[in-house]
Structure 1
Amino acid sequence: MTTPHTIAVLGLGRMGRAIATRLASRGWDVVGWTRSGRTPDAVRTTSDPHDAVAKADLVLLALFDGPACRQVLDDVRDSPRAGAVVVNTGTVSPAEASEPARRLGPAYVHAPVLGSVPAAAGALRILAAAEQDTLDRVRPVLEAPGTVRHVGDASTGAALKLVANSGLAGAVLALRDSLRHADALGLPRAEVMDVLELGRLGGFVTCRGSFLADGSAAGTAEFTIGAPAKDMALPAAASSVPLRSAVGPAGSPADAEADIAVAATTPAAKDGVLEPLRAYIRGHATGDAAHFREAFLPGAHIEGIRDGVFVSWPLDEYCALFRGRPAPDEPTRSRRVDALDVHGTVATATMTLAHGADTFTDVFLLVRADGRWRIANKAYHRHP
């Protein structure tokens, strides 16, 4: 049985770049492709995914979500050489994992990963769903970025990854709440971390200890906010168990996503910087303009292109658009914080809002004055 020699890595974000770099360093012939056009120096790249796939014995997908995986696989479906294997490391729903498994049969390996950018150090845990012969063939490749666990079929592998992510999110939020209480009690962070390490959160605290020990960022974040928010939505779509909590007066489904964002960026982004974004989310969820007045500075403007014309609404004019009640389709709407950067007393944030048939990207400028963060300005883009 021949081990793949040439590997095409489609998707060179944080995870894909780390995996590709690890494989190249271990002697495989790696060619990468990314939709963004941003390419790492350590890996040979091509601007044409068909070219990458046509030369590969193994095609490894490291893409953001199920729709991206489906689109890329559809685009290159006629390009793989005979006998090539497709390995999908993405976090997708069980249904999204089963579809390519049915289409590609033994040539498909669903291999979601537990862990993050430590792929570059071989520290991932990989849940590999494949026929045994296929898994034996690709195992040397998968063992370069981590350890492999055979989990049966693609649907099971995808479901196990979602369950693992759900547990991780719970641990993140539990740690966040513990640190909040400790800070309120005036306890030194280092001592708190030592004690937490003795308890049920010990393993999680150990791996995040250097980042959290003194209340300031001690390294580079290993994932973006959009990824855990996206992942947390998948189990709810795949089962009848609601995974989003109702937080705050609005009970907004997206408040849970904001909580994940807070915990994921602690302590690089102190909790207070997200309070105006939470209030903004509550305003949309309830239609109550009072939440927007809480979120924005009085002189703030909301700006963007509307019907082909640039608009710049003062806060009062923006608030007048809301009637004090939720939109009829509010239960189907979602909002997530995608990115947050804090620079002393100013910060920028990006949020995605899925409102029925419309999707918006909101970009915020926030300032901290009088001990409180507020939104100074918002610009938005309505996706066609």
Structure 2
Amino acid sequence: MTTPHTIAVLGLGRMGRAIATRLTAQSRDVVGWTRSRLTSGAFKTIGDPHEAVAGADLVLLALFDGPACQQVLDDVRDSLRPDTMVLNTSTIAPAEATNLARQFGPSYVHAPVLGSVPAATAGTLQILAAADQDALDRARPVLESLGTVRRVDDASTAAALKLIANNSLAGAVLALRDSLRQADSLGVPRTSVLDVLELGQLGGLVARKRPFLDGKPPVGTADFTIGALAKDMALLADASNTPLRSAAGLADTPAAPESDIAMAATVPAVSDAVLDPLRAYIRGHATGEPTHFRDAFLPTAHIEGIRGGAFVSWPLDEYCALFHGQPAPDEPTRSRRIDTVDVHGAIATATMTLQHGADTFTDIFLLIRADGSWRIANKAYHRHS
């Protein structure tokens, strides 16, 4: 087994810099290149990518996405030596990974990593490596300088597993966001909430990201950005062709793409303004007073669903006529819960669960902001008995 001697790291963003610095600290001969022409005192940098790869036994990619990988490799391909290995740590789509593996054949190792800058710096990354056995044997000493290597069947699977792992991270960030929103609504001090959350299943995430969560100005730079994680979730949703709430949740985060992922957990809940028509709707059911429904809905709204086994579609006047200004006799036992509200500019969707005696209703609302206020444009429902 021959260990690669000179390593060219292409892409010197957060992870690229950390990887190049780690390999240099492990006595590897490293040169770095980036399109931004960033320089580093920790390792040698070269302004010409062709010069960077011409003398390299191994070219390591740490780029933002698949198109960047393809563009850079297309540019330097003629400068690669016949025996040069290409080791790609970038997070890209499964189809993109398959395509690159096909283009470069046995010399290509697809090796996305689990972990961010601190893990790269410490050499504790988890590496999902897909390659021919000979190529993996050649690359293994370099990979083991960065962390623990887990062999994966093929490049597509390695890319897919990385996206799935990042989805679990996105889910954890959004779960933390929901916990902080509930705590804010209850008036619980942020410090107390974070202290307790550090004791639970999200404890590791909370402890690592606490400088971004306590309401003070963020300290330092991001280890993993919202923009990068949102990109990964978009790739996963596109590859799986399956709805993915984390993709929408991150894409709609009103924080700068270069912000740390923890900032997605600090986004406040939707404003009371968008909740006002939903609360008016709840009051209508609680009191039986139809004026609350007129406050909640646009005059043009329709309420649609299945009633008595048949499809019904009521205009607002007909729907209001079902209520007679008195609460139901069993009102004290009834409950309503707003489950989700997703705002997209001047429109929003919401879901609600209503427990009315033996019946459970699932209501889905389309809301719109018109003339400065939110109203329900339409409602559809399903009745479970």
- TM-score, length-normalised on structure 1? 0.66
Residues 1:27 and 2:23 are matched in the alignment: no
Q: Which residue of 2 aligns with 1:5?
A: 5
Alpha-carbon separation, structure 2, partners of 1:284 and 1:60: 45
| Matched-pair contact (CA < 8 Å) for 1:56–1:84 | yes
Q: Which residue of 1 aligns with 2:253?
A: 259
Alpha-carbon separation, structure 2, partners of 1:267 and 1:64: 20
The 5-angstrom pairing of residues 138-153 of structure 1 reads 138-153=139-154
| Matched-pair contact (CA < 8 Å) for 1:172–1:264 | no
Q: Which residue of 2 aligns with 1:101?
A: 101
Residues 1:271 and 2:271 are matched in the alignment: no
Alpha-carbon separation, structure 2, partners of 1:152 and 1:211: 38
Q: What SS class does the counterpart of residue 76 from structure 1 fall into? A: helix
Q: What SS class does the counterpart of residue 78 from structure 1 fall into? A: helix
Q: What SS class does the counterpart of residue 143 from structure 1 fall into? A: helix
| Matched-pair contact (CA < 8 Å) for 1:33–1:52 | yes
| Matched-pair contact (CA < 8 Å) for 2:181–2:268 | no
Q: What SS class does the counterpart of residue 199 from structure 1 fall into? A: coil
**CA deviation profile, 1:58-117 (whole Å, cap 9, x unmatched):** 000011000000111111111111211100011101100011111212110001111111
| Matched-pair contact (CA < 8 Å) for 2:223–2:260 | no
Aligned with residue 345 of structure 2, among 267, 282, 287: 282
Residues 1:122 and 2:123 are matched in the alignment: yes
Q: Give 1:167 deviation, angstroms.
A: 0.9
Q: What SS class does the counterpart of residue 47 from structure 1 fall into? A: coil
Q: Pairwise CA RMSD of aligned residues?
A: 3.4
| Matched-pair contact (CA < 8 Å) for 1:110–1:130 | yes
| Matched-pair contact (CA < 8 Å) for 1:212–1:218 | no
Alpha-carbon separation, structure 2, partners of 1:70 and 1:274: 40
Q: What SS class does the counterpart of residue 32 from structure 1 fall into? A: strand
| Matched-pair contact (CA < 8 Å) for 2:112–2:162 | yes
Q: What SS class does the counterpart of residue 161 from structure 1 fall into? A: helix
Describe the shift of the 1:102–1:56 C-alpha distance in structure 2 as closer, same or farther (beyond 3 A).
same
Q: Which residue of 2 aligns with 1:320?
A: none
| Matched-pair contact (CA < 8 Å) for 1:66–1:92 | yes
- Percent identity, please: 64
Q: Give 1:292 deviation, angstroms.
A: 12
Describe the shift of the 1:280–1:84 C-alpha distance in structure 2 as closer, same or farther (beyond 3 A).
same
Alpha-carbon separation, structure 2, partners of 1:13 and 1:284: 37
| Matched-pair contact (CA < 8 Å) for 1:228–1:260 | no
Q: Which residue of 1 aligns with 2:241?
A: 240
| Matched-pair contact (CA < 8 Å) for 2:221–2:260 | no
Q: Which residue of 2 aligns with 1:299?
A: none
Structure with the greater alpha carbon radius of gyration: 2
Q: Give 1:223 deviation, angstroms.
A: 2.3
Alpha-carbon separation, structure 2, partners of 1:52 and 1:216: 39
Q: Give 1:55 deviation, angstroms.
A: 0.3
Q: Which residue of 2 aligns with 1:67?
A: 67
Q: Which residue of 2 aligns with 1:88?
A: 88
Mean Cα deviation higher: 187-196 or 8-17: 187-196
Q: What SS class does the counterpart of residue 147 from structure 1 fall into? A: strand
Q: Which amino acid aligns with 2:3?
A: T
Alpha-carbon separation, structure 1, partners of 2:15 and 2:156: 22
In structure 1, runs of 5+ residues without a counterpart are: 246-252, 295-384
Describe the shift of the 1:62–1:265 C-alpha distance in structure 2 as closer, same or farther (beyond 3 A).
closer
Describe the shift of the 1:107–1:268 C-alpha distance in structure 2 as closer, same or farther (beyond 3 A).
closer
Q: Give 1:293 deviation, angstroms.
A: 7.8
| Matched-pair contact (CA < 8 Å) for 1:173–1:260 | no
- TM-score, length-normalised on structure 2? 0.66
Alpha-carbon separation, structure 1, partners of 2:52 and 2:125: 25
The 5-angstrom pairing of residues 221-236 of structure 1 reads 221-236=222-237
Q: Which residue of 1 aligns with 2:188?
A: 187
| Matched-pair contact (CA < 8 Å) for 1:16–1:62 | yes
Q: How many residue pairs align between the two structures?
A: 286
Q: Which amino acid aligns with 1:182?
A: A
Q: Which residue of 1 aligns with 2:167?
A: 166
Q: What SS class does the counterpart of residue 233 from structure 1 fall into? A: helix
Describe the shift of the 1:7–1:234 C-alpha distance in structure 2 as closer, same or farther (beyond 3 A).
same
Q: What SS class does the counterpart of residue 59 from structure 1 fall into? A: strand
Describe the shift of the 1:227–1:265 C-alpha distance in structure 2 as closer, same or farther (beyond 3 A).
closer
Alpha-carbon separation, structure 1, partners of 2:347 and 2:192: 40
| Matched-pair contact (CA < 8 Å) for 1:37–1:47 | yes
Q: What SS class does the counterpart of residue 207 from structure 1 fall into? A: helix
Describe the shift of the 1:188–1:125 C-alpha distance in structure 2 as closer, same or farther (beyond 3 A).
same
| Matched-pair contact (CA < 8 Å) for 1:229–1:260 | no
| Matched-pair contact (CA < 8 Å) for 2:18–2:117 | yes
Alpha-carbon separation, structure 1, partners of 2:39 and 2:81: 24
Q: Give 1:53 deviation, angstroms.
A: 0.8
Q: Which residue of 2 aligns with 1:49?
A: 49
Q: Give 1:201 deviation, angstroms.
A: 2.1
Alpha-carbon separation, structure 2, partners of 1:291 and 1:32: 54
Q: Which amino acid aligns with 1:282?
A: G
Mean Cα deviation higher: 4-13 or 205-214: 205-214
Q: Give 1:200 deviation, angstroms.
A: 2.6
Alpha-carbon separation, structure 2, partners of 1:80 and 1:237: 32
| Matched-pair contact (CA < 8 Å) for 2:253–2:267 | no
Alpha-carbon separation, structure 2, partners of 1:269 and 1:168: 12
Q: What SS class does the counterpart of residue 78 from structure 2 fall into? A: coil
Describe the shift of the 1:128–1:208 C-alpha distance in structure 2 as closer, same or farther (beyond 3 A).
same
Provide runs of 4+ in structure 1 moved above 4 Å: 213-216, 253-256, 260-270, 272-275, 283-286, 288-294
